[in-house]
Structure 1
Amino acid sequence: MNKKRILFFIYEMGAGGAARTLLNIINNLDRNKFAPVLVTLNYNGSYVDELKEDVVFIKLDTKRLSRSIFKLAKIIRQERIDVVFSTIPRVNTIAIFSRILSLSSAKSVIREADNLGGDFKTNLQLLAFGTIYKMAHQIVSLSQGVKDNLVTRYKIKENSIKVIYNPIDLEHIQSKIYQGEIQNEWQSVFKTDDKVIVTAGRLVKQKDQVTLLHAFAKVNSEIDSQLVILGEGPLKEELIVKSEELNIRERVHFIGFQKNPYSYLNKADLFVLSSIHEGFSHVIAESLAAGTPVVSTDCKSGPSEVLAGGKYGSLCEVGNAEDIADNILRVLTLPESERLALIEKGFERARHFDAKEIVKQYETTFLETLS
Structure 2
Amino acid sequence: MQDNSKKNLLLMVPMLHQGGFERVCVTTARLMQDFYNVHILIFSSKDINFDITGLDVIDIDVPAKKGKINKVINVLKRVQKVKKIKKDLNIDISYSFGSSSNYVNVLSKGKEKVLTGLRCQTDMENRGQVNLFCKKSDQVLSCSKEIVRQLKRDFNYDRSTYIYNPLDTEDIQKKGSEDIDDFPFDKDCKVIACMGRNDYIKGIWHLVKAFSLVEKKHPKARLMVLGAGNWEPYIEMAEKMGLSDKIFLPGNRKNPFAYVSKSDIYVCSSNHEGFPNAVLEAMALKKPLISADCKTGPREILLDDIQYNDLITRIPSGDSIKEPINGKYGILVPDMGENVDMDITHITEEEKMLAEKICMFLDDKNLRDEYSERAFERALNYTPEKYRDSIHDIFRLYE
Which residue of structure 2 lines up, in the alignment, with residue 9 of structure 1?
12
Which residue of structure 1 lines up, in the alignment, with residue 34 of structure 2?
32
Which residue of structure 1 lines up, in the alignment, with residue 200 of structure 2?
205
Alignment of 1:134-173 (within 5 A): 134-153=135-154, 155-158=155-158, 160-173=159-172
> Is the 2:183–2:259 contact (alpha carbons within 8 Å) kept by the matching residues of 1?
no
Which residue of structure 1 lines up, in the alignment, with residue 332 of structure 2?
315
For 1:28 and 1:96, how far apart are their aligned partners in 2?
Answer: 24
Deviations 1:235-267 (A, max 9, x none): x22222222222212211111112211111211
Alignment of 1:135-284 (within 5 A): 135-153=136-154, 155-158=155-158, 160-178=159-177, 180-182=178-180, 184=181, 186-189=182-185, 191-223=186-218, 224-233=220-229, 236-284=231-279
C-alpha distance 335-129 of structure 1, shift in aligned 2 (>3 A): closer
SS at match of 1:315: strand
> Is the 1:24–1:169 contact (alpha carbons within 8 Å) kept by the matching residues of 2?
no
For 1:162 and 1:132, how far apart are their aligned partners in 2?
Answer: 14
Q: State whether structure 2 residue 362 is matched by structure 1 residue 361.
A: no
Q: CA RMSD in A?
A: 1.9
Q: Please point out which of 94, 115, 121 is paired with 2:121.
A: 115
Alignment coverage as a number of residue pairs = 350
SS at match of 2:266: strand
> Is the 1:92–1:110 contact (alpha carbons within 8 Å) kept by the matching residues of 2?
yes
Matched residue type, 2:253: Q
Alignment of 1:22-61 (within 5 A): 22-29=25-32, 31-48=33-50, 50-53=51-54, 55-61=55-61
**Offset, 1:148:** 2.2
Q: State whether structure 2 residue 97 is matched by structure 1 residue 95.
A: no
Identity over the aligned pairs, expressed in percent? 26
Unaligned runs of 5+ in 1: none
SS at match of 2:197: coil
Matched residue type, 1:365: I
**Offset, 1:187:** 2.1
For 2:29 and 2:363, how far apart are their aligned partners in 1?
Answer: 41
For 1:92 and 1:355, how far apart are their aligned partners in 2?
Answer: 24
For 1:41 and 1:27, how far apart are their aligned partners in 2?
Answer: 20
> Is the 2:293–2:335 contact (alpha carbons within 8 Å) kept by the matching residues of 1?
yes
Q: State whether structure 2 residue 39 is matched by structure 1 residue 62.
A: no
- TM value normalised by structure 2: 0.83
Matched residue type, 2:28: I
Deviations 1:326-367 (A, max 9, x none): 11111122234x433322211110111111211210111111
SS at match of 1:349: helix
**Offset, 1:177:** 2.2
Unaligned runs of 5+ in 2: 65-73, 309-326, 337-349
> Is the 1:198–1:270 contact (alpha carbons within 8 Å) kept by the matching residues of 2?
yes
For 1:170 and 1:2, how far apart are their aligned partners in 2?
Answer: 33
Q: Please point out which of 280, 283, 286 is paired with 1:288.
A: 283
C-alpha distance 181-133 of structure 1, shift in aligned 2 (>3 A): farther
- TM value normalised by structure 1: 0.89
Which residue of structure 2 lines up, in the alignment, with residue 84 of structure 1?
94
Matched residue type, 1:322: K
Matched residue type, 1:226: R
